[in-house]
Structures are given as structure tokens and as C-alpha cells.
């Protein structure tokens, strides 16, 4: 009852997952990311243990195909599962079980995988995939939002819509961006709205947080507030949003 994008940005190794569904709080269980290792989404009849177990294997150096095989081998319910993975080298592996409800399927290429089930048709995956590729010159987060909107325009989840999420990790264990609309009449539009807001004060604040390379971060409030003012002024000029 879901479709999603799992992708890696080859420019800096960031990972992202975007998901939309006619299901409550889809962002709570589907997307999983380990910076520097890989990302995946578990869907259809979700097996949430795929997330931590799959990421541990990716972090240990296993490839996407090896992780997929390991997850499925130990799961008697694999025929009802959908799982897709991108590893640290941009390799993709995906599984759509034979008992997933149609339309269901997946499409993948280097650094990018799109998969879905209970969709209006294959055009949802195709439109999502094409839009993500065509937006290569846009910021990473915007590529997900634009691609999911293209999938929605192509029919999306055939039962309707309820929730959506976007999660992006760069170099840190904590997300660079994590947006969720858990119960909304137009969850993808809500993600667009939240993303627009995030580009101001939130983005400024995030740019000064402690990191692996700078464990203290920047904590000079004058410096932080100056960057907040700069970003919000820029947003006002641009009109905000995507």
C-alpha cells in the first residue's frame, strides 16, 4: 500500500528515502538509513526487523544483493514483502513478493531504486523514477519531493493517500532532514510545505550542530542568529518552498 524512493547522492554520499501511502504514519517503519553504509525501505506487509538487521549488514560491508538475500532467506513471509536497498557503492537490489497486491513492482539503476505496491499502475513507479533522474540539478531533498509528486500525478496509491515522509542523512548518525505527515488529506503537499519552512531557521540551526569532525559544533548565538537572518531573508526573496 505504498511507493517509495531509496537513493544515494554520488556527489557526497548522502542517502535519502521518501515514502507515501494510504496508511497511517508510513514514515515510522518503512525508511531506514545508515550514513556511509546504505539505505532501504521495507513495505507491503512490512517486516520492520529488515531495517536494523539490513543496515548492520550494509555497515559491515555486505552489498545490496547480499543483504537482500539474507533478509529474505530467514523470512517465511517473504512472498508478502517488498524490500529495496541501495548500498555504499550505489548498487541496488529489490524484491517484490509474489503475494504483494497489484499493481506492484520495482525499478532500479545505479544509486536509485523505486518500488511500490497497491498502486494505480506501473506508470507510478516509472514517473517517480524519471522525475528523480530529470531533477539531477536540484538539491537532493527537492529531487525526492518532485519525484514523489510525479508519482502521485500518475495515480499514486490506488486506495488514496494518508501519510508521507522524507528522511535524508549526510555524514552523521542523526538525520540532516526528517519530515513526516502522518495523517493528512494531502501528505505530499504537506511535505512540500514543511520543506519550505525547514530552509530557514531550521537549516541554519542544523548547519552549526556538533558533528563527527567538529564534536562541539558552533554555539555562538550571535553567529547562529546571523545565519538565521540571512537564510530567512533569502527565502523571503525566493518566495520559499520547492
pLDDT in tens, 188-217: 999 999 999 999 999 999 999 999 999 999
Please provide the average confidence, as pLDDT, over all residues in the chain: 95
Poorest-confidence range of 1-15, 146-160, 174-188, 205-219? 146-160
d(CA 82, CA 97): 6
Whether the pLDDT of residue 240 is over 60: the answer is no
pLDDT of residue 157: 77
pLDDT of residue 1: 64
Mean pLDDT of 87-97: 98
pLDDT of residue 159: 78
Tell me the pLDDT band of 237, cut-offs 50, 70 and 90.
confident
pLDDT of residue 18: 98
pLDDT of residue 235: 87
pTM score, two decimals? 0.94
pLDDT in tens, 108-118: 999 999 999 99
pLDDT of residue 182: 97
Amino acid at each position: 500500500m505504498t511507493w517509495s524512493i531509496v537513493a544515494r547522492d554520488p556527489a557526497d554520499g548522502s542517502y535519502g528515502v521518501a515514502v507515501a501511502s494510504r496508511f497511517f504514519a508510513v514514515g515510522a517503519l518503512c525508511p531506514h538509513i545508515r550514513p556511509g553504509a546504505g539505505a532501504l525501505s521495507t513495505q507491503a506487509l512490512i517486516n520492520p526487523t529488515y531495517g536494523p538487521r539490513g543496515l548492520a549488514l550494509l555497515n559491515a560491508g555486505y552489498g545490496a544483493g547480499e543483504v537482500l538475500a539474507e533478509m529474505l532467506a530467514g523470512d517465511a513471509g517473504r512472498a508478502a514483502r517488498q524490500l529495496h536497498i541501495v548500498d555504499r557503492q550505489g548498487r541496488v537490489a529489490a524484491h517484490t513478493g509474489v503475494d504483494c497486491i497489484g499493481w506492484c513492482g520495482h525499478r532500479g539503476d545505479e544509486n536509485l531504486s523505486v518500488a511500490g505496491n497497491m498502486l494505480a499502475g506501473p506508470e507510478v513507479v516509472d514517473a517517480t523514477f524519471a522525475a528523480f533522474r530529470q531533477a539531477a540539478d536540484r538539491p537532493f531533498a527537492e529531487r525526492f519531493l518532485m519525484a514523489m509528486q510525479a508519482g502521485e500525478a500518475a495515480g499514486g496509491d490506488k486506495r488514496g493517500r494518508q501519510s508521507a515522509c522524507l528522511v535524508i542523512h549526510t555524514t552523521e548518525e542523526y538525520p540532516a532532514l526528517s519530515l513526516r505527515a502522518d495523517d493528512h488529506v494531502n501528505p505530499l503537499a504537506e511535505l512540500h510545505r514543511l520543506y519550505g519552512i525547514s530552509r530557514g531557521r531550521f537549516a541554519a540551526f542544523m548547519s552549526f550542530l556538533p558533528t563527527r569532525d567538529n564534536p562541539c559544533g558552533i554555539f555562538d548565538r550571535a553567529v547562529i542568529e546571523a545565519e538565521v537572518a540571512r537564510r530567512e531573508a533569502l527565502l523571503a526573496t525566493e518566495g520559499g518552498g520547492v
